[in-house]
Structure 1
């Protein structure tokens, strides 16, 4: 599949390990070098600032999507080419998903996980047919991947939905995997037993 823009989920913190911020910056650089635009949360600090700065340093296209209340706190990146201002966090997520052909989640906190899980769910119910990447820097997401195994084993997640998820430790590896994506069959509820 052709990927022209990638939505990147990441937060306003960089974590305690310098590898995380470095990986975000390198992802931005790599996507710019591949002529792939970035859609992200619009922030100037943390992992958000790092991915935007990496792309901008290499002449990449960067679109920020930020709610008005965060604009009012002067958190928006001043140098991105396009800044979409929305009225809520819900609208932010919706627009970020719409503008990207694929999604990548970087290491992050509750907000990053919330964005990731909503888009993962949207894929299961057919609201989009896009691949989702997890940049597993420093094995950050190992426990999450183990949790998915448990969800499958306990009957709360069908294994086929893992086919929309791809993991990689480096940008190039992950992007190559995203390009192999074939949409997963949309979820139906015919196989759920009624009580």
Structure 2
């Protein structure tokens, strides 16, 4: 049995404990820094599947991550463009308020990119690493969103939108990719 594909429960528990200690330590030090680091959960997942030689999964993972994050950032820049060019219109002004960042008033806050990325990782962990890892990564991703609200970079609406978009969007695309005939 290859430990890279089927780690023992002790290896899983040890890995979770190490990650949890690092997460809590970073959170206690600075929640904003926690969110900046743990939004990158996509990287260790991708590296894990590269080491495991799960190339098809890695290909789907990269594709879905690029699509979901691409759409999220297109939303951000659409709101910013609307604010810079059409903010004098009353109906546009009402629409763009959802994207206003609490910390600096820029219109690049909807949806939260940090939270979107973290919840993409959570969706993949839940789907391909099992329930324990999935729930663990969902908790870590939720802390990313909470840190973004605490640090005033996002509103709860922006964070919830990022979480829903990253998680549900990834699960929907995973479902359609897995249904497609090979």
Q: Same fold (TM over 0.5)?
A: no
TM-score (normalizing by structure 1): 0.27
Higher share in strand: 1
Greater relative contact order (Cα 8 A, min sep 6): structure 1 or 2?
Answer: 2
Higher share in helix: 2
TM-score (normalizing by structure 2): 0.28
